[in-house]
Amino acid sequence: MSARIAYSLPRAALLRNPGYLRRWPSTTSSAQLTRAFSTTLHRDATWGFVGLGQMGYNMAKNLRAKIPAADTLVIRDVNEEAAKRFVAEAQETAHSPNENRVEIAQNAREVAEKSTVMITSLPESQHVIDVFHSILKEGKLPVLEEERLFIDTSTIDPVTSKDIANAIHTTQAGRFVDAPVSGGVVGARAGTLSFMFGASSQSEEFLERIRGVLAHMGKKAWHLGEPGSGVSGKLANNYMLAINNIATAEAMNLGIRWGLDPKALADLINSSTGRCWPSEVNNPVPGVVETAPASRGYEGGFGVSLMNKDLRLALEAADQAGATLALGDEARNVYNAVEEAHRGKDFSVVYQWLQSKSE
Ligand code: NAD
- Kindly give the number of the ligand 1 atom that is closest to the alpha carbon of 108: 19
Sorted by sequence, the CB contacts under 8 Å of residue 225 that are 6+ apart come out as 198
Q: Whose CA is nearest to atom 8 of ligand 1?
A: 53
Report CA(52)–ligand 1 centroid distance (Å). 7
Q: Tell me the residue length of the chain.
A: 359
Distance 270 CA to ligand 1 centre (A): 33
- Do 160 and 123 meet the contact criterion of CB atoms below 8 Å apart? no
Task: State in Å: Cα 314 to ligand 1 middle.
Answer: 18
pLDDT at 14: 26
Residue nearest to atom 20 of ligand 1 (CA): 77
Residue 53 alpha carbon to ligand 1 centre in Å: 5
pLDDT value at 284 more than 70: yes
For the cut 70, the answer to whether the pLDDT of residue 340 exceeds it is: yes
Confidence of residue 98 (pLDDT cuts 50, 70, 90): confident
User: What number does the ligand 1 atom closest to the CA of 130 have?
Assistant: 18
215 pLDDT higher than 50: yes
Residues whose beta carbon lies within 6 Å of some atom of ligand 1: 50-56, 76-79, 82, 108, 121-123, 127, 130-131, 154-155, 181, 184-185, 302, 306
Q: What percent of the chain has pLDDT over 90?
A: 81
pLDDT recorded at residue 6: 26
Question: What does the pLDDT look like over 30-53, one tens digit per residue?
Answer: 333 233 333 343 444 899 999 999
CA dihedral 233, 238, 240, 242 (to 10 degrees): -170
Compute, in angstroms, the gap from residue 125 CA to the centroid of ligand 1: 11
**Nearest CA residue ID for atom 44, ligand 1:** 181
Q: Probe ligand 1: pick from 122, 194, 347, max atoms within 8 Å of CB?
A: 122
DSSP of 161-200: HHHHHHHHHHTTS-EEEE--EESHHHHHHHT-EEEEEE-S
Residue nearest to atom 7 of ligand 1 (CA): 51
How large is the average pLDDT for residues 194-215? 94
pLDDT for residue 5 is more than 70: no
Residues assigned a catalytic role: 234
Residue 203, classed as helix, strand or coil, is coil
- Mutate which of 49, 50, 55 to test ligand 1's pocket (most atoms within 8 Å of Cβ)? 55
According to DSSP H, which parts of the chain are helical? 2-8, 11-16, 19-23, 30-42, 54-66, 80-93, 108-114, 125-136, 158-170, 184-190, 204-214, 229-257, 262-270, 277-280, 304-321, 328-342, 350-357
Q: How far is the CA of 77 from the centre of ligand 1 (A)?
A: 10
Confidence at residue 29, expressed as pLDDT on a 0 to 100 scale: 32
Strands 117-120 and 149-152, bridge-based pairing: parallel
State the Cα–Cα distance between residues 219 and 216, nearest whole angstrom: 8
pLDDT digits (tens, 9 = 90+) for 131-187: 999 999 999 999 998 999 999 999 999 999 999 999 999 999 999 999 999 999 989
**What domains can be seen in the chain, in order of their start residue?**
13-226 (3.40.50.720), 232-358 (1.10.1040.10)
Taking 60 as the threshold, does the pLDDT of residue 63 lie above it? yes
Whether 24 shows a pLDDT value over 80: the answer reads: no
Give pLDDT tens digits for 303-329.
Answer: 999 999 999 999 999 999 999 999 999
Quick: pLDDT tens for 76-97.
Answer: 999 999 999 999 999 988 888 7
Task: Say if residue 21's pLDDT is above 60.
Answer: no
| Res. 333: pLDDT tops 90 | yes
Residue 200 has pLDDT above 60, yes or no: yes
Instruction: Please tell me the distance from the alpha carbon of residue 359 to that of residue 351, in angstroms, as a whole number.
Output: 14
pLDDT at residue 18 is higher than 50 = no
Q: DSSP per residue over 223-252, as a string? A: EEESTTHHHHHHHHHHHHHHHHHHHHHHHH
- Cα–Cα distance for residue pair 337/339, rounded to 1 Å: 5
Mean pLDDT of the chain: 88
